[in-house]
Structure 1
Amino acid sequence: MFTGIIQTVGTVSRITPSQAGSRLRIDCPLLEPSRWQEGDSVAVAGCCLTALALDAQGFSADLSAETLERTSLGALESGDPVNLEPALAVGDRLGGHLVSGHIDGLAEVVSIHPSGESRIARLRVPETLARFIAEKGSVTLDGVSLTVNAVDGLEFEVNLIPHTLAVTTLGRLARGARVNLEVDQLARYIERLLGASQ
């Protein structure tokens, strides 16, 4: 379980193809990964992955064929930055919202424009996911917990404050970019319960 509060931006240092998918190597010395346990969960651009081959400089993680197909991780190249958040420990602060790290789909940036020192990003989602997005509800984009400002059909807007722009990869967003989207868990469970009762 995660919160959507990014702890650092790591760097992809190596991508190795494998029979089952590929293996990522991510450098993130600020997180001191040598203190983790092999097998710990870490959210990479919002995707829950298993940390392997830990050392003081970083870690590796295997990407399955499904992860490569359903997320933006298959488009990563060596040198690319990625948002990182280790899994919550008991007693940790819950600063964002409850995030599973299970990506629902990709959202595409339709537009992005300044609003004072912030930026307003407008994104389009697949029709199957639009019903889960509500004004003042929560979404996770590339692992970042955000509040939805407005909803219009298949599109919604979020406000990216200066801090978010400075400490996450969302400061690099441009029109046409595709980002990992996780909708609010509560919305998914409510829809499932309502469907089962009908």
Structure 2
Amino acid sequence: MFTGIVKGQGKIVQLQDNHGTEQIRIASSLIDPENFAIGESISINGVCLTITKFQNNDFWVDAMPETLKRTTFDELQLNSLVNLEPALQVTERLNGHFLLGHVDTTAVVTKIEEQSSSKVFTLKIDSSQMPFIVEKGSIGIDGVSLTVVAVGSDWFQVALIPYTLKETILGQLKSGEKVNIETDILGKYVVKMNNEVVDYE
């Protein structure tokens, strides 16, 4: 489990296909063999993956075909930067919101507007996801916990402060690019239970 508070960034230094599974080598000073172990979970651009091995100070993860299909991982390239967050420890403060690292879908950035030192991003998403996205609610974008500021039939907006723009890869986003989306798990359960009550009646 994660909180959407990115702890650092990593760089893709090697990609190799293993019968449909993408093996990814990431360089980062955040994740090292002295403080992390093989088998631990880590959020990479919002995707929960398992550390499979260390090579020098780099670490490897495997992205299965389902992950490649549902996320932006099929577009990763050498030297791409990624957001990193280690799994939440029970002693840590919950500064963002609960994220499982189970990406629901992707969204496309359609507009970026500057407002003072912040930026407002408009993202287009499949309308089937909109019941889980509410104004003032939480959403995970490439592993970053953000607050939704406006919603439409198939779009929503988030506002990013200078710190988030600087400390995550979201500050490098351009119009037309895709991002990973994880909607709020609590919202999913509420919608599911409400639908079951309606069906029962």
For this structure pair, what is the TM-score category when the shorter chain's length is used for normalisation?
Answer: over 0.9
Q: Quick check: 1:44–1:84 contact (8 Å CA) kept in 2?
A: yes
With normalisation by structure 2, the TM-score equals 0.95
Letter in 2 for 1:73: F
Structure 1: which 5+ runs fail to align? none
Match of 2:147 in 1: 147
Match of 1:113 in 2: 113
With normalisation by structure 1, the TM-score equals 0.97
Q: How far is 1:34 from its partner?
A: 3.5
Q: Distance in 2 between matches of 1:112 and 1:20?
A: 35
1:52 aligns with 2:52: yes
1:132-171, Cα deviation, whole Å (9 max, x unpaired):
1100000000000000011121111100100000000000
1:21-50, Cα deviation, whole Å (9 max, x unpaired):
110001112333432121110000000000
Structure 2: which 5+ runs fail to align? none
The number of aligned residues is 198
Letter in 2 for 1:153: S
Q: Distance in 2 between matches of 1:16 and 1:89?
A: 31
Q: Distance in 2 between matches of 1:17 and 1:10?
A: 20
Q: Distance in 1 between matches of 2:84 and 2:96?
A: 14
1:90 aligns with 2:90: yes
Match of 2:70 in 1: 70
1:114-138, Cα deviation, whole Å (9 max, x unpaired):
1000001000111110111100000
Match of 2:28 in 1: 28
Letter in 1 for 2:115: S
Q: Distance in 2 between matches of 1:94 and 1:130?
A: 25
Q: How far is 1:54 from its partner?
A: 2.4
RMSD: 1.1
Q: Quick check: 1:34–1:55 contact (8 Å CA) kept in 2?
A: no
Letter in 2 for 1:118: S
Q: Quick check: 2:32–2:59 contact (8 Å CA) kept in 1?
A: no
Indicate the percent of aligned positions where both proteins have the same amino acid: 39
Q: Distance in 1 between matches of 2:162 and 2:86?
A: 23
SS in 2 for 1:134: coil
